[in-house]
Amino acid sequence: MKLHEYQAKQILSDFGVPTPQGEVVSTPAGAKAVAERLGKPVVVKAQVLMGGRGKAGGIKLAKTPDEVFQAAQDILGKRLVSPQNPQGLVAEMVLVEEAIEIAREYYIGITIDRALQRNVLMVSMQGGMDIEEVAAQNPEAISTVAIDPLLGLTDYAAREALYGAGIPQEQIRPMSALLQGLYRAYIAVDGNLAEINPCAVLADGRIIAADAKITIDENALFRQKRLAELHDESLEDPIEAEASRRGIAYVRLGGDIGVIGNGAGLVMCTVDEVARAGGRAANFLDIGGGAKADRVRQAVELVLMDPNVKGLLFNIFGGITRGDEVARGMLEAFETLEVNIPVVVRLAGTHAEEGRALLQGTPLIPAETMQEAARLIVERARGV
């Protein structure tokens, strides 16, 4: 679950991380009032869950309350579109905060390294840039240190990361303290990402979180009741939000081939096979283990909510998931939903033969292998 910038900054502030003064508002008049209270130049920042806000026109500098009013009026209600989010999101809130004079920008972040099976601390002198871009173009610019799960982020581990990134000696101590606050916040909220980018060094030497991002592990929301209430579905992809309400793992990918499978690994392989066959997956959808007919029907319904879908591929390998139950779910879906696209089905494993028997005589197209299934659905979606 992603948090808005203002929410992330409030959490960091609670753990001793310095942040700019500011307030979040939803009207131009409210923005002007905040600027009048601050009595200094401000930055008006759209609060939308996407990257690239600045280039999309979602961040504006304003020197007077009247300029703040105009900036907020320009942003609020506007659909912001960026390369990270081509569909765009409408800005319903803005953060009005003091403008700061930045002398230098750093990047600091904590996330999970699946290979190491540990949290890792990342520090870079190249702040203000997309860290994925830095990692791809100049990986040696990022200093990475694995965090011991028993000891937490020790002072010496923080210093190791800072020295490795080339942070100047006079900033090591305050930066180390800031990293400790970031780590405590990350652990307290069950985060899987917490980053400050840029971490700004001001002209007077102070270090402050100019921007912040926190993502919370949704599997931990049962013990993060207060944070769960912050979940803003209105600014998420509507299909992903609906899937979340139904407890189904769904990620929209932007292609035109719907993909449904059981098990994250199998679904990812299926997405890759669709690409290898010359197509592009519209989504990732994992119905999970032991899925019953109703869950399969709901999965089909979710995929069909995307108007770009031109074909649907089922790839099921039955273990605890029974092929006949999946087949019943497909039949139920096609009885209750209007399905006007080709559907290819690959069933293997537990009760697969029974499932295939149930599907005989239907418009569903059978396939023996994942590769054949991917090839068939790409061809049928193209009308070949």
Give residue 384's pLDDT. Answer: 54
Q: Coil, strand, or helix at residue 202?
A: strand
CATH number for the domain formed by residue range(s) 238-379? 3.40.50.261
Q: Is 366:380 a contact under the CB 8 Å cutoff?
A: no
Amino acid at 185: A
Higher pLDDT, 329 or 181: 181
| pLDDT(382) > 80 | yes
Contact status, residue 221 vs residue 213, Cβ threshold 8 Å: no
| Residue range(s) occupied by CATH 3.30.470.20 in the chain | 102-228
- Is the overall model pTM greater than 0.85, yes or no? no
Q: Cα-flanking dihedrals φ and ψ of residue 269, to 5°? A: -60, -40
> Who wins on pLDDT, 361 or 37?
37
Whether 229 has a pLDDT exceeding 90, the answer reads no
Q: What is the pLDDT of residue 356?
A: 82
Q: Phi/psi at 141 (nearest 5 deg)? A: -80, -10
Please give the average per-residue pLDDT across 283-294, as a whole number: 83
Q: Is the pLDDT of residue 237 over 90?
A: no
Mean pLDDT over 372-383 rounds to 93
Question: Which helix H or strand E contains 29, and what residues bound it?
Answer: helix 28-38
- Whether 324 has a pLDDT exceeding 80, the answer reads yes
User: Crossing angle, helix 264-276 and helix 370-381, to 10 degrees?
Assistant: 50
271 has a pLDDT exceeding 80: yes
pLDDT class of 334 with cuts at 50, 70, 90: confident
Residue 166 has pLDDT above 90, yes or no: yes
- For residues 159 and 176, give the distance between their C-alpha atoms in angstroms, rounded to a whole number: 6
The closest of 375, 259, 264, 351 to 306, measured between CA atoms, is 259
Alpha carbons 70 and 76: distance in angstroms, whole number = 10
Amino acid letter for position 383: G
> What confidence score (pLDDT) does residue 235 get?
60
pLDDT given at position 225: 86
Secondary structure (3-state) at 268 = helix
Percent of the chain with pLDDT over 90: 65
Q: What is the pLDDT of residue 318?
A: 77
Averaged confidence pLDDT in the chain: 91
Q: State pLDDT tens for residues 43-59.
A: 999 998 887 888 889 99
Confidence band for 347, pLDDT divided at 50, 70 and 90: confident
Band of the pLDDT at 127, cuts 50, 70, 90? Answer: confident
Query: Dihedral, CA atoms, 119, 125, 127, 131, nearest 10 degrees?
Result: -50
Q: Which of 75, 84, 83, 80 is nearest to 28 (CA)?
A: 75
HEC profile for 51-89?
CCCCCCCCEEEECCHHHHHHHHHHHCCCEEEECCEEEEE
Q: What is the pLDDT of residue 272?
A: 97
| Predicted confidence (pLDDT) at residue 304 exceeds the cutoff of 80 | yes
Which residue in the block uniquely carries the two structure tokens 């305050």? 174
Q: Residue 134's pLDDT is what? A: 82
- The amino acid present at 233, given as its one-letter code, is E
**Per CATH, which fold does 21-98 belong to?**
Dna Ligase; domain 1 (3.30.1490)
* Rounded mean pLDDT, 144-153: 96
Longest dimension (CA), the chain: 76
Three-class secondary structure of residue 296 per DSSP: helix
Torsion of CA 315, 317, 318, 324, to 10 degrees: 30
* CATH number given to 102-228: 3.30.470.20
Residues of the chain with CATH 3.40.50.261: 238-379
Is a pLDDT exceeding 70 seen at residue 361? yes
Kindly report which listed range (36-40, 127-131, 134-138, 283-287) carries the lowest average pLDDT score. Answer: 127-131
Give CATH 3.30.1490.20 domain extents, the chain: 21-98
Euclidean distance between CA atoms 86 and 163, whole angstroms: 38
10 Å CB burial of residue 289 (0-12, 13-18, 19+) is exposed
Bridge-based pairing state of the strands 343-349 and 311-318: parallel
Length of the chain: 384
- What are the structure tokens assigned to 373, written together? 């299934």
Q: How confident is the model at residue 233 (pLDDT cuts 50, 70, 90)?
A: low
Instruction: Choose the most confident range, by mean pLDDT, from 128-142, 273-287, 310-324, 339-353.
Output: 273-287
Identify the CA nearest to 213 among candidates 42, 48, 41. 48
Q: Give the span between the Cα atoms of 287 and 321, in whole angstroms.
A: 9
Does residue 231 or residue 101 have the better pLDDT?
101
Q: Give me the mean pLDDT over the 249-257 stretch.
A: 93
Our measurement of the distance from residue 53's CA atom to the centroid of its chain's CA atoms, rounded to an integer in Å, reads 15
Closest CA to 289 of 270, 269, 264: 264
As a whole number, mean pLDDT of residues 182-205 equals 95
| 24 or 135, which is more confident | 24
pLDDT for residue 6 = 96
- Active centre residues (catalytic): 107, 195
Look at residue 234 in the predicted model and tell me its pLDDT.
Answer: 64
**pLDDT value, residue 350:** 81
Q: What percent of the chain has pLDDT above 70?
A: 98
User: 156 vs 291, which has greater pLDDT?
Assistant: 156
How does residue 291 score in pLDDT terms, banded at 50, 70 and 90?
Answer: low
